[in-house]
Amino acid sequence: MSSLTARQRWTGLAVLVLAVTVVALDATVLSLAIPSISETLRPRGTQLLWIGDSYSFVLAGLLVSMGALSDRIGRKKLLLAGATAFGAASLLAAYAPSAGWLIVARALLGVAGATIMPSTLSLIRGLFPDDRERATAIGIWGAAATAGAALGPVVGGVLLEHFWWGSVFLMNIPVLLLLLGLGLWLLPESKDPKPGRWDVLSALLSLAGVIGVVYAVKEAAAHGVGRWDVPVAFALGAAALAVFVRRQLRLETPLLDVRLFRDRRFTAAVSASAISLIGLSGVIFVVSQYLQLVRGYQPLQAGLAELPAFAGSVVGGLLTARVARRFGARGALTACLLAMGLGVGVLGWLGQDTTYLMLAASFLLVGTAEGVVYTLGADLVLSAAPADKAGAASAVSETAYELGTALGIALVGSVVGSIYADGLAVPAGTDPAVAARAGESLGSAVEAAQGLSPELAQPLLASAKEVFVSGMNSAGLLAAALLVGAAVMAWRLLRGLSGPGAAAGTPVAASESPEAAKTSEESETSEVSETSEVSETSEVSETVRA
């Protein structure tokens, strides 16, 4: 692919940007449709969370497997096959007759999305062999991914203003048709020249492990650890992941080279991406309901109210290389995680009538910082991995993104739901069935109040809004604490390491002892420090300093 002209490379990037935008947008576009779905399909509280979670859970569980598969069968081939499946699953979701069907359709969208995401980032590495060009391309790609997630509520608001909730899925169809046509024409094929076999057992273990652990975390946050299925799911998931790791260390051609995590740049980037998305996705999920059901915004108004996050994520993604040059990747990553913590922490002080300017400032800060974190993390991951394993490494980065999204909705949504259910005061004389319905979620309470007399409806709504905001305050402070912890972790992991260029930070071989690994890292850091003035690395990679 190095023989491609500049025009072919950048037009190919445009196709990949289109693909990643669709997948990222689908993760958040549903947030504003939750009230409409609650009214139409009448999901239970747990079903409502799974409607939001199933997409990201399945996507996260399959990304590593699909990333490795793309290295073997061809990244372009898997990307186009996934786009076709994504369109079919979108049709099923749009016309789902029940909450259960919608959960299944969202899970199928996750399967299809898992074939798209790692292919886009690994194709970028092949399209742009030059480090400086690749840094710019990854910046554009990262801006598209974060902007797609932030733009979801805006697009959803426009559609819901004129159509039913299923329209947020149907919008995928024309975009995917364009992607298929342009992708066949513009994208070159690439794959690992010596891929080895694709291990089916490893794929199943990674899927079972991710879903088992995340399910346990989600249910524990919502109901506590007393239920029998929580420790069982966690134990099974953790066991599956442990077997997965041991199997990868033994395989000649592993599905995921877990030795990559010996490189502290790789570990810091993956962890930071996951934790930052917990804050961002949790905020979008909860605040979308707050704007509509507490403040009374129409869907389009609510989408536009979240627009500062979209603008900030685009700016942050495009400015990543400049920020990293100015402050170093260590400083940039840490500072932006702290900024996200500050922005998310604002939710801890929001009330029912808080001025919108405070919320807009929070969105702008969180979106801008996330744009830098996500793009810089992707560059660190790609730089740490060998070129022939770009698909698998990209999948780890995307797994962190989707796992963070799923955990954000699960943790933040579960905390809010738990506080809401415990604190809701139902007026005396309310029918028990109506009271039970109102206790499921704020949307259910709004719907239940429509069938009550004003004497019962008004105090029910007042209590529902009050306890929902209280839950949102607690969830905001929890997410902020996680982001501050991620900043501390990134600062420590990136200490003493040089830039993620090809010459630096090579992952330590499995056979080396911890002492040898430490010596190797110190030696490599010293060598790179002595030659940094004459070595050429990418715009982002050349700036990571101790």
Q: Which of 156-170, 176-190, 216-230, 312-326 has the lowest mean pLDDT?
A: 216-230
Q: How far apart are CA 202 and CA 447, in angstroms?
A: 45
Dist. CA 392–CA 394, nearest whole Å: 5
Q: Give residue 335's pLDDT.
A: 92
Highest mean pLDDT among 58-62, 223-227, 263-267 belongs to: 263-267
Asked whether residue 218 carries a pLDDT value surpassing 50, the answer given is yes
pLDDT band for position 523 (50/70/90)? very low
**412 with 286: CB under 8 angstroms?**
yes
Q: What is the pLDDT of residue 337?
A: 92
Average pLDDT, the chain: 76
Provide mean pLDDT across the span 224-253: 86
Q: Which has the minimum average pLDDT: 23-27, 259-263, 486-490? A: 23-27
> Do the beta carbons of residue 71 and residue 253 sit within 8 Å?
no
What pLDDT shows up at residue 386?
67
pLDDT value, residue 515: 37
Model pLDDT, residue 242? 92
- Calculate helix-pair angle for 131-162, 6-28, nearest 10 degrees: 40
134 or 486: whose pLDDT is higher? 486
How confident is the model at residue 220, as a pLDDT? Answer: 74
Q: Could you tell me if 44 and 438 are in contact, meaning their C-beta atoms sit under 8 angstroms apart?
A: no
Those residues whose C-beta lies under 8 Å from the C-beta of residue 225, and which sit 6 or more positions away, are 231
pLDDT, tens only, 268-304:
888 887 887 777 777 767 887 888 888 888 777 877 7
- Mean per-residue pLDDT, 47-55: 75
Residue 545: is its pLDDT beyond 60? no
Greatest mean pLDDT among 24-33, 403-412, 427-436, 515-524 lies in 427-436
Q: What end-to-end distance do the CA atoms of the chain give, in Å? A: 34
- pLDDT at 390 (0 to 100): 61
Query: What is the mean pLDDT of the segment spanning 184-204?
Result: 74
Give pTM, 2 decimals: 0.64
> pLDDT (tens digit, 9 = 90+) per residue, 477-490?
888 888 898 899 88
Task: Report the alpha-carbon distance of residue 544 to residue 535 in Å, rounded.
Answer: 13
Instruction: Choose between 169 and 243: higher pLDDT.
Output: 243
CA–CA distance, 495 with 490 (Å, rounded to integer): 8
CB 22 within 8 A of CB 86: yes
Model pLDDT for residues 111-121, shown as the tens digit of each residue: 888 887 767 76
DSSP SS3 for 197: coil
Q: Which residue has the higher pLDDT, 534 or 262?
A: 262
User: How many CA atoms are closer than 13 Å to the CA of 212, on its beta-carbon side?
Assistant: 18
Most confident of 6-15, 397-406, 475-484, 504-513: 475-484
Whether residue 97 has pLDDT greater than 80? yes
Going by C-alpha positions, the residue among 402, 412, 406, 382 that lies closest to residue 394 is 382
Portion of the chain with pLDDT greater than 90, in percent: 4
Contact 313, 369 (CB under 8 A): no
The predicted-structure confidence for 408-445, as pLDDT tens digits, reads as follows 766 777 788 788 888 888 888 888 888 887 887 787 78
- Asked if the model's pLDDT at residue 166 lies above 90, the reply is no
CA distance 329 to 320: 9
**Contact criterion met (CB below 8 Å) for 475 and 345:** no
